[in-house]
Structure 1
Amino acid sequence: MKIKTVSQCTLNETLKAWNKGFEGYFVQIEMNEEVFLNRLVGEGLSPELSIVAFDQNNPVGIVLNGFRQIDGKKTSWNGGTGISPDFRGKGVSRVLMEETIAIYERENVEVATLEAIKENKVAISLYEKYGYTVTNQLLFLSGEYEEKVEKPVDIHVETIRPEQLPHLSFYQEDVPWQCSWQSNKHGEAKVFYNENNEAIGYMLYKTVWNQEGAIDSIVLYQLELLGNGNVEHIPHFIASITKHKVKLATVNFLASNPATSYLMENGLEVKTEQVQMKKKMDS
């Protein structure tokens, strides 16, 4: 078994490792060249620190890795570990995990993170063997949402760029990797204030437009209520984007987030459940 970095592989080798690695997986995540390259850039994944396992000249496994400063700590993200079906159960995942942990140690990572499909007990067990623990339950929701505003509320809306979010004192940086502002620089963000100019919540999202120039769907990455906010404010948050019936989806929303419960009570259904896992690296 030979390990190469993604930067040492051809694009075809890397794509083969990824697509074969997730063949028959719980959700379909096959990628073409354009989607793969966009994901590398958009999610801050490192070709130099991501790895591919080879059996002779055949790419049979892959781990994609990203690195960021989150809450002042160098944090890594395993953006996908895949093993070709013919090589599952033959120790490839162990080789990849040991090399990945070694990379994290060399890079002085303080916190290692990843997400796993909740039903994928084999993967979760593997990660637990390497010191990861489950920290959060995460949900992908989707469905049709219709405006639920019943009475006017004095809310001031400020539209900002995602890059401005970390400069707000109340912004919570520690969110699942794909929900962070860094992964959604082409998205949109709004902050909401009450009549006393106190922040009551914020959203990070993306709007998808149809050929007629109307909003086709909304993807929510963050919808957070702050101390002065409450669940009754959520419909006003969404109405600031559109007051029409719309397809709505969430990415890795915490099951414990009040917004998650609200959306499930108002037309959205659970499509995928994941667990967030973290490992505190030894200093």
Structure 2
Amino acid sequence: MKIKTVSQCTLEEVLKAWNKGFEGYFVEINMTAEMFLHRLVGEGLSPTHSIVIFDQDEPIAIVLNGFRIVNGKKTAWNGGTGISPDYRGKGVSRLLMEEALAIYEREQVEIATLEAIKENKVAIALYEKYGYAISNQLLFLSGEYEGEFEHTARIHIETIRPEQLPHFPFYQEDVPWQCSWQSVKQGEAKIFYNDDNKALGYMLYKTVWNDSGEVERILLYQLEILEDRHQNLLPNFLESVITCPVQMTAVNFLANNPATSFLIKNGLKVTTEQVQMKKQF
């Protein structure tokens, strides 16, 4: 077997490694070339630090890696590890992990992160073997938001670009990779204030429009209240972008986030459970 970086492979080889690697997985992630390239760029993944394993000329496994500075520390993210069904349980996962960790060492990574499907006990055990530990329980939520739309609390709203968020002192940088502002550059952000101009919370989201120019879905990446006593303001936060029932998806929300339980009470259902795992170097 030989290892190549993604940058050394053809797009066809990389795409085959990815699609075969996630075949029969808990959540199949079959991608077209356009979808894969969009993910690579949108998630800030590095072709020169991501790898594909070959058996002869056949691409059989892949791991994608990205790097960011989070809270002043160089952080790596495993953006997908896949192994072709015929090669699972044959030591390929060990080869992938050891090569990925060697890359992290060379890049002087301080924290490595990844997400794993909660039911995927085999993968979680593998990551734990290499020093990862579960840090958070994450939920994907989806459904029609059924909240009320007539609230009178006085809040003031500032609409900003996602890349402005890290310049506010209350912004939480340490969130799942796909929920960070860097991964939602094409989205929108809002900050909510009271009459005294004190920040109450903020939201990072995308609006998906259909061909008729109507809102098709709201994708929520962060919905945060800064003090628990302001949980009653969550409907007001959401009303800043919607005024009637709409399909909504919450991406990798922390299970213990007050917004998570609020959304579940108001129509959304858990579609996928994941664990976030971290390794300290």
- Preserved contact between residue 17 and residue 62 of structure 1 (Cα < 8 Å): yes
Q: State whether structure 2 residue 91 is matched by structure 1 residue 86.
A: no
Task: Provide the residue aligned with 2:17 in structure 1.
Answer: 17
Superposition pairs of residues 253-272 of structure 1, within 5 angstroms: 253-272=253-272
The amino acid of 1:265's aligned partner reads K
- Write the letter of the residue equivalent to 1:105: E
- Counterpart Cα distance in 2 of 1:2 and 1:228: 52
User: Aligned partner of 1:159: which letter?
Assistant: T
Deviation of 1:63 after TM superposition, in Å, equals 0.3
Q: How does 1:118-197 map to 2 (within 5 A)?
A: 118-197=118-197
Q: Is the 8 A contact 1:187 1:206 kept in 2?
A: yes
Q: Secondary structure at the match of 2:28?
A: coil
Q: Which amino acid aligns with 1:143?
A: G
CA distance in 2, matches of 1:216, 1:146: 15
Instruction: Write the deviation string for residues 20-56 of structure 1: whole angstroms up to 9, x where unpaired.
Output: 0000011121101000001000000000000000111
Unaligned runs of 5+ in 2: none
Could you tell me which runs of 5 or more consecutive residues in structure 1 were left unpaired when the two chains were aligned: none
Equivalent pairs, count: 281
Runs of 4+ in 1 over 6 A off after TM superposition: none
Maintained 8 Å contact 1:198/1:228: no
Give the aligned partner of residue 222 of structure 1.
Answer: 222
**Native 8 Å contact 1:147 1:235 kept in 2:** yes
Q: Determine the structure 2 residue equivalent to 1:112.
A: 112
Deviation at 1:244, TM superposition (A): 1.0
- Residues 91-147 of structure 1: CA deviation (Å, up to 9, x unaligned): 000001000000000000000000000000010000000000000000000010134
**TM-score normalised by L of structure 1:** 0.98
CA, structure 1 residues 156+228, in 2 after alignment: closer, same or farther (shift >3 Å)? Answer: farther
Stretch deviating more after TM superposition (262-271 or 221-230): 221-230
Give the RMSD, CA atoms, in angstroms: 0.9
The answer on whether the counterparts of 1:201 and 1:229 sit within 8 Å (CA) in structure 2 is: no
Tell me the equivalent position of 2:234. 234
Counterpart residue number, 1:41: 41
Q: Is the 8 A contact 1:191 1:201 kept in 2?
A: yes
Distance, in Å, in 2 between the alignment partners of 1:216 and 1:96 is: 39
